[in-house]
Amino acid sequence: MEFRKNDLVTLEIEDCGVDGEGIGKTDGFTVFVKDAVIGDTIKAKIIKAKKHYGYGRLVEVIKPSPYRTKPRCAFARQCGGCQLQALSYDRQLVFKTNKVRGHLERIGGFTDIPMEPIIGMDEPYHYRNKAQFPVGRNKEGKIITGFYAGRTHTIIENRDCALGIPQNKEVLDRVISHMEKYNIEPYNEMTGQGLVRHILIRYGYFTKELMVCLILNGNKIPREELLVSSLREIHGMTSITINVNKKRNNVILGDKIRLLWGQDYITDKIGDISYQISPLSFYQVNPRQTQKLYAKALEYADLHGDETVWDLYCGIGTISLFLAQKAKFVRGVEIVPEAIENARENARINGITNTQFYVGKAEEVLPREYEKTGIYADVIVVDPPRKGCDEVLLQTMVEMQPERIVYVSCDSATLARDLKYLCQRGYELKKVCPVDQFGMTVHVETVCLLSKKL
Catalytic residue numbers, as ranges: 410
Nearest to 437 by CA among 383, 380, 381: 383
Region of 285 on the Ramachandran plot (φ > 0 left; ψ -120 to 50 alpha; else beta): alpha
End-to-end CA distance of the chain: give it in Å, rounded. Answer: 56
Amino acid in the structure at residue 230: S
Rounded to whole angstroms, how far apart are CA atoms 144 and 184?
13
| DSSP assignment of 359-384 | ES-HHHHHHHHHHHH----SEEEE--
Query: Is residue 132 exposed (0-12), middle (13-18) or buried (19+ Cβ within 10 Å)?
Result: middle
Rounded to whole angstroms, how far apart are CA atoms 191 and 248?
9
Amino acid in the structure at residue 268: D
Query: Secondary structure of the chain: what % helix, strand, coil (to 5)?
Result: 25, 30, 45
Rounded to whole angstroms, how far apart are CA atoms 200 and 149?
18
Query: Is residue 229 exposed (0-12), middle (13-18) or buried (19+ Cβ within 10 Å)?
Result: exposed
Question: Distance of CA 186 to CAs 144, 246, 276, Å?
Answer: 9, 13, 30
Cβ atoms of 42 and 33 closer than 8 Å: yes
Query: In whole angstroms, what separates CA 171 from the centre of its chain?
Result: 22
**DSSP β-ladder status, 130-137 and 155-157:** unpaired
What are the residues whose beta carbons fall under 8 Å from the beta carbon of 51, sequence distance 6 or more?
none
3-state secondary structure of 429: strand
